[in-house]
Structure 1
Amino acid sequence: MVNPLTWQQAGQSDDKLREFFMPALVDLGASIMIQDAGRNYLFVTHLPEVWAVEHVRTPTDVSLFGDEVGAKLATLKDGMTEAGRKGHIEITIGTEQIYEFRVQTVEFSNGGLHFVTTIIDRSEERHRERLLRALLREVSHRSKNLLAIIQSIALQTARYSGSLELFLHKFRGRLYSLSQSQDLITDSSWRGAYFFELVQQQTEKYLPENKHLVRVHGDNILLTPNASLHIGLALHELIVNAVSHGSLLRSGRVINVTCTRMHLNGHDSLEMIWDEVLDASRSSEDTEDSLKAHFGSTVLERVVPASVNGKAQYVISSDRISYRLVFPLESGGD
Structure 2
Amino acid sequence: MTDFLVRRIARQPRGMAARIALGLAVAGLALGFRLALSPYIGMGAPFAAFVLGVLVASVFGGIASGVACAALLSVGGAFMMTATGHPAALRRSVLSLLFFVACSGFVIWIVTLLRAALAREVAARESERLLKLELHHRVKNTLAVVQSLADQTFRGATDTEAARRHFAARLAALADAHDVLVDAGWREVTLQTVAERALAPFRPTAPGRLTLDGGPAPVSPEAAVALTLCLHELATNAVKHGALSGEAGAVRLAWRVEETAGRRRLEVEWREAGGPTPAPGGRQGFGARLLTRALAAQPNAQARLDLGPDGALWRAAFDL
Category of TM-score, reference length = shorter chain = 0.5 to 0.7
When the two structures are superposed, what TM-score results if normalisation uses the length of structure 2? 0.65
> Alignment RMSD, CA only?
3.0
Greater displacement, 50-59 / 224-233: 50-59
Of the three residues 122, 126, 129, the one matched with 1:126 is: 122
What secondary structure, in the 3-state scheme, does the structure 1 residue paired with 2:283 have? Answer: helix
Contact kept? 2:250, 2:274, Cα under 8 Å: no
Q: Give distance in 1, aligned partners of 2:131 and 2:63.
A: 32
Q: Give distance in 2, aligned partners of 1:42 and 1:283.
A: 92
Specify the alignment match of 1:167 in structure 2.
Answer: 163
Of the three residues 43, 63, 74, the one matched with 1:49 is: 63
Q: Deviations over 1:140-179 (max 9, x none)?
A: 1111111111111111112252232122111111111111
Contact kept? 2:153, 2:167, Cα under 8 Å: yes
Of the three residues 303, 309, 314, the one matched with 1:318 is: 309
The residue correspondences of 1:79-228 to structure 2 (distance < 5 A) are: 120-121=114-115, 122-207=118-203, 209-210=205-206, 212-228=208-224
Give the letter aligned to residue 291 of structure 1.
R
Contact kept? 2:243, 2:310, Cα under 8 Å: no
Contact kept? 1:278, 1:321, Cα under 8 Å: no
Contact kept? 1:180, 1:201, Cα under 8 Å: yes
Contact kept? 1:260, 1:272, Cα under 8 Å: yes
Q: Give distance in 2, aligned partners of 1:263 and 1:216.
A: 21
Give the letter aligned to residue 178 of structure 1.
L
Contact kept? 1:245, 1:291, Cα under 8 Å: no
What secondary structure, in the 3-state scheme, does the structure 1 residue paired with 2:73 have? Answer: coil
Contact kept? 2:274, 2:311, Cα under 8 Å: yes
What secondary structure, in the 3-state scheme, does the structure 1 residue paired with 2:303 have? Answer: strand
Of the three residues 303, 306, 329, the one matched with 2:296 is: 306
Give the letter aligned to residue 63 of structure 2.
E
Contact kept? 2:212, 2:252, Cα under 8 Å: yes
Specify the alignment match of 2:81 in structure 1.
Answer: none
**Deviation, structure 1 residue 50:** 3.6
| Residues 125 and 234 (structure 1), Cα distance of their counterparts in 2 relative to 1, 3 Å cut | same
| Bigger helix fraction | 2
Q: Give distance in 1, aligned partners of 2:245 and 2:163.
A: 25
**Deviation, structure 1 residue 274:** 0.2
Give the letter aligned to residue 281 of structure 2.
D
**Deviation, structure 1 residue 265:** 8.2
Contact kept? 1:262, 1:268, Cα under 8 Å: yes
Q: Give distance in 2, aligned partners of 1:300 and 1:210.
A: 27
Specify the alignment match of 1:77 in structure 2.
Answer: none
The residue correspondences of 1:225-244 to structure 2 (distance < 5 A) are: 225-244=221-240
What secondary structure, in the 3-state scheme, does the structure 2 residue paired with 1:305 have? Answer: coil
Unaligned runs of 5+ in 2: 1-36, 38-45, 78-106
Q: Give distance in 1, aligned partners of 2:306 and 2:262.
A: 27
Pair 1:291 & 2:283 matched: yes
- Extract structure 1 runs of 4+ deviating beyond 6 A: none
Q: Give distance in 2, aligned partners of 1:59 and 1:323.
A: 82
Specify the alignment match of 1:328 in structure 2.
Answer: 319
Q: Deviations over 1:276-308 (max 9, x none)?
A: 1143xx444x1x43422x21111012x213232
Contact kept? 1:273, 1:323, Cα under 8 Å: yes
**Deviation, structure 1 residue 187:** 0.8
| Residues 151 and 41 (structure 1), Cα distance of their counterparts in 2 relative to 1, 3 Å cut | same
Q: Give distance in 2, aligned partners of 1:118 and 1:266.
A: 50
Q: Give distance in 1, aligned partners of 2:204 and 2:286.
A: 25
**Deviation, structure 1 residue 244:** 0.7
**Deviation, structure 1 residue 180:** 0.5
**Deviation, structure 1 residue 212:** 4.4
Count of residues paired in the alignment: 232
Q: Give distance in 2, aligned partners of 1:171 and 1:200.
A: 21
Percent same amino acid among aligned pairs?
23
Specify the alignment match of 1:273 in structure 2.
Answer: 269
Task: Find the structure with the greater CA-based Rg.
Answer: 2
Contact kept? 1:270, 1:328, Cα under 8 Å: yes
Give the letter aligned to residue 155 of structure 1.
D
Contact kept? 2:252, 2:272, Cα under 8 Å: yes
Specify the alignment match of 1:78 in structure 2.
Answer: none
Unaligned runs of 5+ in 1: 1-37, 61-100, 102-116, 330-334
